[in-house]
Amino acid sequence: MKRFTAFLLVVLILATGCRGRLRQQITSTPTSQPPATTAPQQTEATTAPATAVADAPTAAAPAPTEAAAQPTPAAPTAGATNVAATPTSPPAPTFDTVPADYNALYETLDQNLDTFEENVLTQAPAVSSTFWSGELTPASGNLGPALLEPRSMQLVREYLDGLRGMGLTGVGVQISYPLLVPDYPDADKYLSFYQQVVREAHQRGFKVLIETSPVFAGTEFSNVSVDYRGLTKEAYFQQRKDMVLLIASEIRPDYLSLTHEPTTEVALTGVRMNVDDFVNFVKDTLNSLDRSAGILYGAGNGTWEDSTYIDRYIQETSVDFINLHIYPVANDQGNQLEIAANLSQQAINAGKRLVIGETWLYKATTQELAQPLGKVSLGEYYARDPYSFWQPLDIHFIQSIVDLGRTYNYDFISFFWSRYFFGYVNYNDVPKNINSTQLFRLANQAAYANMQQGQYSYTGQAYSQMISQP
């Protein structure tokens, strides 16, 4: 932790322009921080949508997808700073005290990150040509019909500009099955929407990674209506293949991931599929694509899933890249970042490129992750994320991923919960009786209000500073 703490202090001094001695008590309570929004509210103004994450329920639960009401731009929330401004004496960064209920979890996760750094990152990371990315949350397929509202493309543009202001060079986009299946309602409109999204991203100089996976239908995390009953695996894989071919020919991203969390696909659809089925799907789809068009194609899985999928993608298919998802730092299988490092070396040895299509620090202990489904709410763990006291730990995690990317020369790395690059909410300002949906709405409001004012959280500033240095 000492090495990281020293780095964190330097990063935040640079990010805020502070030339004085930065307080090293990274858990101290800010004395002049404007309060976050204190109560959930719904307006009829334009909306700032949030996306859903496709995580296997056994490791990282899916995230909420409700469109959050956009408040009138307010004072910056916890840890937010206007990076465009250059005040003479900016305040030194300070962080909220970690609540007693979260101290043990905080320390455990911090120690897991230290273990990874000590065991794997034994040499200084090399200079890499990585495209550093954040998730383009207003374009998530889990939002469904909200994407077709008049305001949605303007939200995409604003979000792209916010990410570009950090110095990012890539964006991740979720195009969920079955939005582009021909007989799905408004499939042609979704196609037009995503064509415009990729054009907007390319016009700003971004490389685009598109991931394809099922929408979170029938869950609390998406309002999209899909009935998977009666769906056979033959029909499923044929439609998934057709969607990939359509995306490649009509939307034309730079990176296109065919499958990346197989157990999540099984859990969402209820279709029985095994590793043979996924390998055959990848092989068949790749054989049907025009590989001369300049698009890179990949497949992979979450680090918590059976690595047999990646073994066989490497050995039996012609994928250009292996796509990893990293959420838990550790579970009963061990340190997930060390697993990611081992899989990275395996892919490199086979001549494959590397991509992290989704990653964020999953705030749960090994014991919590071992609980069977149904004993905890799927959104319970993600409901820990919005609080600003996590910022030093989020920065620590991002630094570990950046170092991993540079050590193994990753092509593309995308951090999923990109809204926290703009803002968090203060734990003490949030009513304790609100549910996770209301809390996520507050987080969306805070992030969007800050984005409108050109403000970034300390997490966003730190990430920007990390990737600006060789």
**pLDDT tens for each residue of 415-434:** 999 999 999 999 999 998 88
- pLDDT for 370 equals 83
Omega cis (within 30) before 386: no
Tokens of 414: 């995308």
What is the four-CA torsion angle of 213, 214, 219, 223, rounded to 10 degrees? 100
What is the residue extent of each domain of the chain?
Answer: 2-468
Q: Are 9 and 28 in contact (CB under 8 A)?
A: no
List, in order, residues 6 or more apart from 163 with CB less than 8 Å away. Answer: 134, 136, 171, 206, 418, 421
Three-state secondary structure call for residue 287: helix
Task: Give yes or no for residue 321 having a pLDDT over 50.
Answer: yes
Q: Is the pLDDT of residue 375 over 90?
A: no
Task: Answer yes or no: are the C-beta atoms of 12 and 22 closer than 8 Å.
Answer: yes
Contact, 222 vs 142, CB < 8 A? yes
- In this structure, of 24-38, 284-298, 395-409, 419-433, the range with the lowest mean pLDDT score is 24-38
CA pair distance 324, 322, nearest whole angstrom? 7
pLDDT tens, 181-212? 999 999 999 999 999 999 999 999 999 999 99
Whether pLDDT at 41 is above 70: no
Q: What is the DSSP letter of 91?
A: P
The Cα–Cα gap between 59 and 309 comes to: 17
- In the predicted model, what is the mean pLDDT of the chain? 83
In one letter, which amino acid is 207?
Answer: K
Q: What is the pLDDT of residue 83?
A: 46
Report the distance separating Cα 365 and Cα 385, nearest Å: 14
Lowest mean pLDDT segment, chosen from 73-77, 108-112, 144-148, 398-402: 73-77
Q: Supply the DSSP symbol for 71.
A: P
374: pLDDT strictly greater than 70: no
Say how far apart CA 256 and CA 411 lie, in whole Å: 13
98 pLDDT more than 60:
yes
| Maximum average pLDDT range among 26-40, 62-76, 82-96, 287-301 | 287-301
Task: Name which of 303, 211, 227, 304 is nearest 259 in CA terms.
Answer: 211
**Residue given tokens 């859903």 in the structure block:** 52
Q: Pick the range with the lowest mean pLDDT from 120-134, 230-244, 281-295, 446-460.
A: 120-134
Residue 34's pLDDT band (cuts 50, 70, 90): very low
The pTM score is 0.84
**Residue 30 pLDDT more than 90?**
no
Cβ distance 78 to 94 under 8 Å?
no
Q: Which of 13-27, 141-155, 309-323 has the lowest mean pLDDT?
A: 13-27
> Inter-axis angle of helices 308-316 and 275-288, to 10 degrees?
30
- Per-residue confidence (pLDDT) for residue 19, from 0 to 100: 25
pLDDT at residue 250 above 50?
yes
* Alpha helices per DSSP H over 185-307: 187-203, 233-246, 262-269, 275-288
Q: SS3 for 358-387, per residue?
A: EECCCCCCHHHHCCCCCCCCCCCCHHHCCE
Given a cut of 90, whether residue 76 has pLDDT beyond it is no
Mean pLDDT of 300-307: 96
Q: How confident is the model at residue 308 (pLDDT cuts 50, 70, 90)?
A: very high
Q: 342-351, 364-373, 405-414 — which is least confidently predicted?
A: 364-373
Contact 223, 145 (CB under 8 A): yes
**How many whole angstroms separate alpha carbon 98 and alpha carbon 338?**
27
Among 5-9, 73-77, 89-93, 149-153, where is mean pLDDT lowest? 73-77
User: Which has more confidence, 124 or 9?
Assistant: 124
Q: Look up residue 260 and give its DSSP letter.
A: S
Q: What is the chain's alpha carbon radius of gyration, rounded to the nearest angstrom?
A: 21
Dump pLDDT digits (tens) for 323-342: 999 999 988 888 899 999 99
d(CA 304, CA 178): 26
* Superfamily per CATH, domain 2-468: Glycosidases (3.20.20.80)
